[in-house]
């Protein structure tokens, strides 16, 4: 142990990070935000649990190792068991939340000696039910209590929340993912602007609530006059937000480069609404995430006209898979040679299944639409798992991609590991 004790803490910290295969806590995969459909049996969460187990083991070796490994242990914290859980789970969640801002005596010789545990947290994912009577004995599990605790996490950069109605974000962040069990709450535009003004580092905005729409006679444009939020890079849009932001000058979000809009293009006149939005804000977009269903041609014709800088297009097909016929029809009206990465989500979350022959979608003639295509990325880990279970399909798809000079990727580098073997 003498050699270990003589090793500088900074070097031990780097060794521990490698040993625990610490995933970047700020990487937000699409599957992290399906709310009640979140599946903790999938690879991203299994990797998180394996890494967590190793960190706990390191913390138990000695006081010095505990001090060095603790910051890694708390970089990302997931708290979700107490929603609908038993009293023991509720008590444990409450204790953890209180502990985050309690004083914690670390080895004085280690980095961050004497710091609060909350200062180590860079990402917090939590689920809570505000107003639940069972939370009366645990005030830290209410929206107000959580907001108070989160506001003291000085290094927090990502907050992922699923809450009951009535809660609101009150903390300074770089990435905001806020979900709720209901969406009938509307946020006044002045309140939205106050929130954006108070968070100059905010890069990702994902909030389930709608915005109050202003009558044109109300000097609506004056509210956005001379406003600019250059830090915003990614917006996950609701239907109502599309309408409101379509009337906002492009100078308000000059660096908006990623957009997610998962609503059916054929319902509620979504295509026309989305077209209006892209005419204003599409020219800077680099990444676009959409659910085209059977309307690929109509959707891509709009995207091709409005998004000249687009490099990545992510398509989610939860019900009907795209066909060769639809790709050929779409290529007549729109081709995008600047798109080099195609992302695909092929699992049906609503039916909890794959359609027959789902994997064939990867082998379609995507280069008719995207002549410069270099990468096909599977966005859902369950799609990757299904291919892993069928080596013959995986080999077939890998050979197809190699023939056309396309690399197959996924969010957890599984295909990269195969290529390196």
Query: What pLDDT shows up at residue 98?
Result: 73
> Which range in 49-63, 79-93, 116-130, 342-356 is most confidently predicted, on average pLDDT?
49-63
More confident residue, 287 or 103: 287
Per-domain residue ranges of the chain: 257-420
CA distance 149 to 170: 10
Mean pLDDT of 220-247: 84
| pLDDT of 166 higher than 50 | no
More confident residue, 199 or 113: 199
Query: What pLDDT shows up at residue 175?
Result: 74
Q: In Å, how far are 206, 227, 243, 281 from 196, measured between CA atoms? A: 13, 10, 19, 18
Query: What pLDDT shows up at residue 268?
Result: 76
pLDDT digits (tens, 9 = 90+) for 171-225: 445 777 776 555 566 788 887 888 788 778 788 888 877 887 766 545 555 778 7
Phi-psi region of 206 (alpha: psi -120 to 50; beta: other; left: phi over 0): beta
Query: What pLDDT shows up at residue 217?
Result: 46
């000696």: which residue's tokens? Answer: 113
What DSSP string runs through 10-67? HHHHHHHHHHTTPPPTT---GGGG-GGG--TTSHHHHHHHHHHHHHHHHHTT-HHHHH
More confident residue, 137 or 287: 287
Query: What pLDDT shows up at residue 4?
Result: 52
CA distance 325 to 331: 10
**How is domain 257-420 classified at the architecture level of CATH?**
Alpha-Beta Horseshoe (3.80)
Mean predicted lDDT score pLDDT of the chain: 77
Nearest to 42 by CA among 405, 306, 384: 384
Chain centroid to CA 143: 22
CB within 8 A of 24, min separation 6: which ones? none
pLDDT digits (tens, 9 = 90+) for 264-321: 777 778 888 899 999 999 999 999 998 888 788 888 999 999 999 999 999 988 666 6
Answer for the pair 286, 311: CB distance below 8 angstroms, yes or no.
yes
Half-sphere exposure of 403 (CA within 13 A, CB side): 9
CA distance 244 to 113: 48
């990325």: which residue's tokens? Answer: 377
The dihedral sign for the CA sequence 345, 346, 347, 348:
positive
């Amino acid at each position: 142990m003498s050699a270990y004790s003589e090793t500088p803490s900074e070097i031990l910290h780097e060794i521990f990070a490698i040993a625990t295969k610490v995933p970047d806590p700020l990487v937000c995969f699409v599957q992290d935000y399906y709310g009640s459909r979140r599946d903790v049996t999938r690879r991203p969460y299994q990797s998180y649990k394996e890494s967590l187990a190793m960190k706990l083991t390191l913390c138990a070796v000695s006081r010095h190792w505990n001090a060095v490994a603790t910051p890694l242990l708390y970089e990302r914290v997931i708290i979700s068991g107490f929603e609908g859980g038993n009293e023991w789970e509720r008590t444990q969640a409450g204790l953890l939340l209180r502990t985050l801002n309690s004083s914690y005596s670390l080895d004085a010789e280690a980095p961050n000696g004497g710091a609060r545990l909350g200062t180590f947290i860079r990402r917090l994912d939590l689920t809570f039910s505000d107003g639940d009577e069972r939370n009366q004995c645990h005030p830290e599990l209410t929206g107000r209590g959580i907001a108070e605790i989160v506001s003291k996490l000085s290094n927090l950069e990502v907050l992922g929340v699923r809450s009951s109605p009535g809660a609101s974000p009150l903390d300074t962040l770089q990435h905001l993912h806020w979900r709720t069990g209901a969406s009938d709450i509307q946020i006044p535009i002045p309140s939205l602007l106050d929130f954006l003004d108070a968070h100059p580092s905010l890069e990702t905005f994902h909030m389930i609530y709608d915005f109050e729409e202003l009558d044109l006679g109300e000097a609506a444009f004056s509210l956005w006059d001379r406003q600019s939020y250059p830090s915003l890079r990614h917006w996950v849009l609701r239907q109502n937000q599309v309408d409101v932001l379509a009337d906002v000058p492009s100078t308000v979000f000059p660096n908006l480069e990623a957009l997610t809009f998962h609503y059916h293009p054929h319902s509620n006149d979504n295509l026309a609404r989305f077209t209006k939005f892209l005419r204003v804000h599409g020219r800077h977009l680099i990444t676009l995430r959409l659910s085209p269903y059977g309307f690929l041609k109509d959707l891509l014709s709009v995207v091709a006209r409005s998004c000249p800088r687009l490099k990545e297009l992510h398509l989610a097909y939860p019900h009907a898979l795209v066909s060769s016929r639809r790709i050929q029809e779409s290529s007549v009206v729109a081709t995008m040679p600047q798109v080099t990465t195609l992302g695909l989500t092929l699992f049906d979350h609503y039916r909890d299944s794959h359609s027959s022959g789902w994997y064939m979608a990867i082998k379609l003639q995507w280069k008719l639409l995207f002549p410069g295509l270099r990468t096909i990325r599977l966005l859902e880990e369950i799609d990757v798992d299904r291919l892993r279970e069928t080596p013959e399909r995986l080999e077939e798809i890998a050979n197809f991609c190699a023939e056309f000079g396309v690399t197959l990727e996924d969010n957890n580098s599984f295909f990269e590991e195969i290529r390196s073997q």
